[in-house]
Amino acid sequence: MWWLSRAAGAGILLVLSWIDIRIHQVPEKLLICSSAAAVMYHLAVRQMNIWVIAGGAGVGMLFLLLSRATREGIGYGDSWAILILGIYLGLWKLVEVLCTAFVILGIYSAVILCKRKMSHRAVLPFFPFLTAGYVLAAFI
């Protein structure tokens, strides 16, 4: 069950990454379905402490507030995905995913800036980095 749920999460993130790269917008219906799936997963499996899940959701809520405060400098779709991952993975695994994603994003940005392929004001889709962080943190 664990591998199946992790593979499903990776599949959903891959689809969302592709959509984010192509149209720079994430379908709300897919995020709603993913939110429901994360909640149903915990109702069915009940492996994690409720406080760990609440902590993960709290981090997601913090990102939603940051999205609003930065006028979507961090997109709402990205923040909503972090909220979903927080509910699904819990606080500590979410922190691993986010740290991994931000390190990969930082390395990618530094390389691209050094090659002068983009300006320092460029906007990058975050879902591919979130997916990479999820795959590395969830499966390793």
Residue entry with tokens 């090659």: 115
pLDDT surpasses 90 at 64:
yes
d(CA 108, CA 129): 9
d(CA 41, CA 117): 42
The tokens describing 55, both together, are 């902590």
**Phi and psi for 78 in degrees, rounded to 5?**
-65, -45
Of 120 and 93, which is predicted with more confidence? Answer: 93
| Residue 117 pLDDT grade (very low, low, confident, very high; cuts 50, 70, 90) | confident
Of 70 and 4, which is predicted with more confidence? Answer: 70
State residue 2's pLDDT score: 65
Q: CB-based burial of residue 80 (10 Å sphere; 0-12 exposed, 13-18 middle, 19+ buried)?
A: buried
